[in-house]
């Protein structure tokens, strides 16, 4: 049983909602969210949606970089 299922709160500064996902802190910070925590960060539904949106652009750019090498 993990921390999310136990009811941990969102790690984004100023947010107090319940978390739905757990992610590495460095990836979440790279997406532009201000978090408090060291290794793992817990995100609520709204902040996870923001994270996915920001990382979608990164993943697309990374795919383009990889395809140009082939």
Q: Give how far the C-alpha of residue 48 lies from the chain's centroid of Cα atoms, to the nearest Å.
A: 6
Q: Provide the residue range defining the domain that includes 34.
A: 3-69
* Residue 25 near residue 38, CB atoms below 8 Å: yes
> What local confidence, expressed as pLDDT, does residue 70 receive?
61
Domains in the chain, number: 1
List the beta strands (DSSP E) in 15-70: 21-24, 40-43
The pLDDT tens digits of the residues spanning 12-65 come to 999 999 999 999 999 999 888 999 877 999 999 999 999 999 999 888 888 888
Is the pTM of the predicted complex or chain greater than 0.75? yes
pLDDT for res 69: 66
In Å, the largest CA–CA distance within the chain is 46
Q: Which residues of 54-64 are buried (b: 16+ CB within 10 A; e: fewer)?
A: ebeeeeeeeee
């Amino acid at each position: 049983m993990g921390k999310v299922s136990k009811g941990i709160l969102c790690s984004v500064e100023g947010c107090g909602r319940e978390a739905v996902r757990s992610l590495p802190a460095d990836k979440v910070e790279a997406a532009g969210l201000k978090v408090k925590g060291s290794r793992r960060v817990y995100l609520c539904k709204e902040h996870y949606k923001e994270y996915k949106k920001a990382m979608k652009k990164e993943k697309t750019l990374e795919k383009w970089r990889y395809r140009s090498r082939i």
